[in-house]
Amino acid sequence: MTLREQYQTLPKLLKVSEVAEFTGTHERTIRRWIKEGRMPAVESPEGLRVPRRLLWRFLGLDLAA
């Protein structure tokens, strides 16, 4: 699967657990990064969500790939 295909298959707003699984880190790590302001997130009625576009930017991946 190409990087573009991976990006397109992700939901537009990812749960903290989905970000943790995708990055291979623990949910506590993701929550800490969000709390420290290192990882952008938005608050929704269902809880914290990370927009896939901002996750890609956080990971340093090129959307044009």
- What is the architecture of the domain spanning 3-59? Orthogonal Bundle (1.10)
Question: Does residue 37 sit in helix, strand or coil?
Answer: coil
Specify whether the CB–CB gap between 42 and 13 falls below 8 A: yes
Domain residue extents for the chain: 3-59
The per-residue pLDDT string of the chain (65 residues; one tens digit each, 9 = 90 and over) reads 887 888 888 899 999 999 999 999 999 999 999 999 999 999 999 999 999 999 999 998 876 54
What is the torsional sign of CA 11, 12, 17, 22?
positive
Distance between CA 25 and CA 45 in Å, rounded?
Answer: 24
Q: What is the pTM of this model?
A: 0.84
